[in-house]
Amino acid sequence: MEEVKIMEEVKVKVELVDKPIGNGEKELQKNRWKNRRRMAWVSLISMLLVTSIIILTDVVEIERLTVLKEVITWFYFSCASIIGMYMGATTLASIKGK
């Protein structure tokens, strides 16, 4: 009996996924992709900005850089993850046909 309920739930979820998208939902998805793109660009620009500040200027002393090494590493890792996820999601969406 429990298996029947699970199968019915799966059918309902599949029907919801295959449902055609209305105009309001298309606009919502368009805005989501636009915001994801902006987030990826902000991450890339912030990575370049931090790198140029560290390398090209003397704003941050070497002693402070050794202390902030872990923070900077996690900052680069998180920004690169955001950019990579955006690129992967757009590639997957274009393969699946959105």
What pLDDT score does 8 carry? 67
Provide the Cα torsion 76, 77, 80, 82; round to 10°. -120
Q: What is the pTM of this model?
A: 0.67
Residue 37 CA to residue 27 CA, distance in Å, equals: 15
Break the chain into its structural domains and give their ranges.
2-96
CA distances from 40 to 2, 14, 28, 89, 98 (A): 44, 31, 18, 12, 19
| 10-residue mean pLDDT series, the chain (98 residues) | 62 54 77 92 95 85 87 95 94 82
